[in-house]
Structure 1
Amino acid sequence: MRTSPNKLLATVFGAVYLLVGVLGFFVTSGIGFFASEGANLIVFAVNPLHNIIHLLIGAALLSAGLKSVAASKAVNTTVGGVYLLVGIVGLFLIGSSLNIIALNGADNVLHLASAVVLLGVGLSQDKVPAVNTAHRMA
């Protein structure tokens, strides 16, 4: 039996986003919860709210990846769509007081890249074969 690309991707991305969420708390001590400029985790800016979002997304992806192909496909597609939106909107938030998750250019690139991968796999892999209804009616 082959491994589902959606389950594999959800599991790997989920574990990575959970790890990033946890590691983010090591660098955000003293940073305001909604601070528009965060602390750097490698080249990515994070604040405590951003860390919590990473934990929630990581948990959703990992849980779906460990559950089923259908759940993985749905969560990959949903998170991919949200990341596409965050990546685009994030381009306009940098330097703004509305930037409550402390996005920077590297975050936007990562969110857009994650969106492409999650949407690409979520929408193209693990297709359910069409049922021939004409054959069933006979």
Structure 2
Amino acid sequence: MRHSPNRLLAAVFGAVYVVVGLLGGIVAGGLPFLTTEGGLLLGIFEVNPLHNIAHVLIGAALLIAGLSNVVAAKTVNTVVGGFYLLLGVVGFFIVGSALNILALNTADHFLHLASAVVLLGAGLAADKRTQRVATA
């Protein structure tokens, strides 16, 4: 892992997102699964049960990829980074509507955008000499 920024980043972000998802379960306990207004994690980030499950699953994917190999880490960093970029942008437009099923707030949007920049940056720019495995 010490030679691959993608593996290190995926493992660290993965572990953090898993912990965030588990801690979010504490502050969102008892809330409806798809509520548009959730509990506050760290007093800043709004979460609901669905949002927490998403964090755990995304964190697990990142962690597994980071502990696996460079190709997996690059791929997952790029895919998750792209997803967070989309979520960060769309999030600003769905706040206050029934479409906000993850109970997103402004702090969440900026965190998702920051995660997108870091993950996409690493996924697209780091470990350039790594070849993707061709499938038949």
Q: Same fold (TM over 0.5)?
A: yes
> Which range, TM-score by smaller chain?
over 0.9
TM-score (norm 1): 0.91
Larger Rg: 1
Match of 2:23 in 1: 23
CA drift at 1:5: 0.1
Contact kept, 8 Å, 2:70 with 2:130, in 1: the verdict is no
Greater than 4 Å deviation, 4+ residue runs: none
Post-superposition offset of 1:2: 4.8
* Residue segments in structure 2 that go unaligned for 5+ positions in a row: 132-136
Distance in 2 (alpha carbons) for counterparts of 1:68 and 1:127? 14
Distance 1:16 1:129 in 2: 26
Structure 1 range deviating more: 1-10 or 28-37: 1-10
Residue matched to 2:41 = 41
Return the offset for 1:65.
0.1
Q: Compute the RMSD of aligned alpha carbons.
A: 1.4
Q: Deviation at 1:129? A: 7.1
Shift, 1:128, TM fit: 1.6
Q: What whole-Å deviation, never above 9, does each CA across 1:27-77 have from its counterpart, x for those lacking one?
A: 112211000010000100000000000000000000000000000000000
Alignment of 1:1-138 (within 5 A): 2-42=2-42, 43-128=44-129
1:9 alignment partner AA = L
TM-score of the aligned structures, taking structure 2 as reference length: 0.92
The alignment partner of 2:89 has SS state of helix
